[in-house]
């Protein structure tokens, strides 16, 4: 079908109801027939971009690593014997976060000894703690460690001090009692250390 050019024709705008030259009319995105001066483009908010869901899984996930138990440095002179002829030793360790039944091994200052007998192949280790009130450093820093009880041992029981725990040497006893020692550095941690 052939349409007339509409050179002298007029049209009525669907928006304003006014008369305009037919050749100046356009069809709007809403379907309305309007003059070019009244034309309103489609708002960008009406044409949102398609959103895909956020990714939920990593391409190469790794499970969370459980950090191995680490050594905790104790303050100067952390050991305190309870009483004369007693095997109980209180340990001062502020904010230690330990629980009754934990097994703790004490270590003295770090040392280096030859690994294969040469200076270029040393082996790291720890010295024994200094002796305290007749209890030797070898006993305090026993390789098997000690099962601890939280709190400070006082008069046959423990109090609820969060900065103390105690253990029994099992063999060696204090000479005087109430004596602090151990010098510095002394650390407390697991029986075996792993990376």
pLDDT digits (tens, 9 = 90+) for 112-160: 776 665 667 777 788 888 899 999 999 999 999 999 999 988 876 667 7
Task: Point out the residues of the chain with pLDDT beneath 70.
Answer: 114-119, 156-158, 194-195
Tokens of 98: 């330990």
Quick one: pLDDT at residue 64? 84
Quick one: pLDDT at residue 124? 74
Residue 194 lies in a domain: no
Residues 35 and 91 grouped into a single domain: no
Residue 183 lies in a domain: yes
Query: CA distances (Å), 186 to each of 93, 126, 128, 181, in order?
Result: 11, 10, 9, 10
Residues 126 and 79 grouped into a single domain: yes
Residues 136 and 176 grouped into a single domain: yes
Residues 102 and 38 grouped into a single domain: no
What's the rounded Cα separation, in Å, for the pair 126 and 85? 28
Residue 134 lies in a domain: yes
What's the rounded Cα separation, in Å, for the pair 192 and 195? 10
Domain that holds residue 37: 10-45
Residues 80 and 40 grouped into a single domain: no
What's the CATH code of the domain at 131?
A: 2.40.30.20
Alpha helix (H) residue ranges in 25-142: 137-140
Residue 140 lies in a domain: yes
Residue 86 lies in a domain: yes
Residues 119 and 24 grouped into a single domain: no
Residues 32 and 106 grouped into a single domain: no
Residue 168 lies in a domain: yes
Q: Is the peptide bond between 130 and the residue preceding it cis, with omega within 30 degrees of 0?
A: no
In the chain, the number of structural domains is: 2
Which residue has 């390789």 as its token pair?
A: 143
Residue 177 lies in a domain: yes
């Amino acid at each position: 079908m052939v349409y007339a050019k509409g050179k002298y024709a007029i049209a009525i705008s669907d928006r304003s109801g006014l008369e305009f030259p037919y050749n100046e009319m356009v069809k709007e995105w809403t379907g309305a027939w309007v003059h070019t001066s009244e034309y309103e483009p489609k708002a960008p908010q009406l044409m949102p971009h398609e959103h895909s869901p956020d990714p939920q899984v990593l391409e190469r996930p790794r499970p969370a690593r459980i950090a191995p138990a680490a050594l905790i440095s104790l303050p100067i002179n952390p050991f305190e014997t309870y009483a004369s002829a007693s095997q109980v030793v209180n340990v001062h360790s502020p904010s230690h976060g330990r629980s009754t039944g934990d097994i703790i091994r004490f270590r003295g200052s770090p040392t280096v000894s030859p690994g294969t007998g040469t200076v270029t192949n040393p082996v790291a280790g720890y010295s024994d703690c200094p002796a305290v009130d007749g209890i030797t450093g070898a006993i305090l820093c026993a390789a098997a460690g000690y099962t601890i009880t939280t709190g400070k041992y006082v008069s046959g029981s423990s109090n609820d001090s969060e900065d103390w725990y105690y253990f029994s040497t099992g063999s060696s006893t204090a000479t005087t009692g109430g004596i602090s020692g151990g010098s510095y550095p002394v650390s407390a941690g697991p029986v075996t250390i792993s990376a």
